[in-house]
Amino acid sequence: MTQQATEPAPVLRRAPNALSVVRLVLAPVLLALAWFGHPRAFLVCFTASLLTDLADGFLARRFHETSELGAKLDSWGDLAMYLTLPPSAWWLWPDLIMQEAPFVALALVSFVLPTLIGLVKFRRATSYHTYGAKLSAVIMGPAMLVLFAFGLAWPFRIATFVFALAEIEEIAITAVLPRWHADVRSIVQARRLARADQVAATRRGDRG
């Protein structure tokens, strides 16, 4: 009886994946709002998208509902949200983007390069959700809101460097892992997983 009482309700178990889907749905909405020139509505929807990103991971960990599907949905939701930002920001704030072009370029390269390397090696998107990536997301989201809403650039510049460091770690994780793993929190964990995979492969070889 006690165990059943402490189990999360079905709606809570589905909430993390549902929030990731909401982020996917909001991506074309953000593009449409930017294309038709509605900066305030864009910022409201962008804020909502950022909040879903924070909430889905928290709920998944809180109710122990992490899964490979959830990791993939979260990654695709993040990818969809952040891919909308360059064209949307250019349509709404072109002068600001030109002013911050070096930092925008660094953020774009840092976002695209780890994804491409993961696709080449594993033939699917990485879903590491590292501590560094979480920290950079917490910093980058508000920094972009401050940049777009008030034109204040220094938080975005700091966030860009933090983001770049987090993505360098993701590239290192991809280089270390012999096969795809979801929810790899750090390069330290990646090295442990790589050693475990090597031991497992050796044992399979000995049995063969």
Split at pLDDT 50, 70, 90, the class of 151 is very high
Together in a domain, 99 and 86: no
Together in a domain, 59 and 77: yes
Together in a domain, 83 and 98: no
Together in a domain, 185 and 168: yes
Mean pLDDT of 112-138: 91
**Residue predicted with more confidence, 126 or 96:** 96
Together in a domain, 2 and 73: yes
- Among 92, 111, 138, give the residue marking a domain's end: 92
Q: Which residues contact 94 (CB under 8 A, 6 or more apart)?
A: none
The total number of residues shown for the chain amounts to 208
- Among 41, 67, 92, give the residue marking a domain's end: 92
Split at pLDDT 50, 70, 90, the class of 87 is very high
Together in a domain, 112 and 153: yes
Q: What is the mean pLDDT of the chain?
A: 87
Together in a domain, 174 and 101: yes
Together in a domain, 81 and 100: no
Together in a domain, 53 and 124: no
Together in a domain, 101 and 199: yes
Structural domains counted in the chain: 2
User: Does the structure show a pLDDT above 90 at 143?
Assistant: yes
Residue type for 93, please? Answer: W
Together in a domain, 105 and 203: yes
Q: How far is CA 165 from CA 7, 147, 159, 162, in A?
A: 38, 21, 10, 5
Distance CA 95, CA 92 (A): 9
Over residues 50-82, the pLDDT tens digits come to 888 877 766 666 666 666 677 778 778 888 888
Q: How is the chain split among helix, strand and coil, in percent rounded to 5?
A: 85, 0, 15
- Among 57, 92, 127, give the residue marking a domain's end: 92
Distance CA 151, CA 78 (A): 24
Lookup result for tokens 């996917």: 24
pLDDT at position 78? 83
Look up the pTM and report it. 0.82
Together in a domain, 36 and 100: no
Cβ pair 155, 143 in contact under 8 A: yes
Over residues 171-195, the pLDDT tens digits come to 999 999 999 998 899 999 999 999 9
pLDDT at position 7? 53
Q: By residue range, what is the domain housing residue 39?
A: 1-92
Q: Tell me, what DSSP letter sits at residue 127?
A: B
Over residues 155-173, the pLDDT tens digits come to 999 999 999 999 999 999 9
Q: Provide the percentage of residues in the chain whose pLDDT is more than 70.
A: 85
pLDDT at position 129? 86
List the beta bridge partners of residue 182.
127
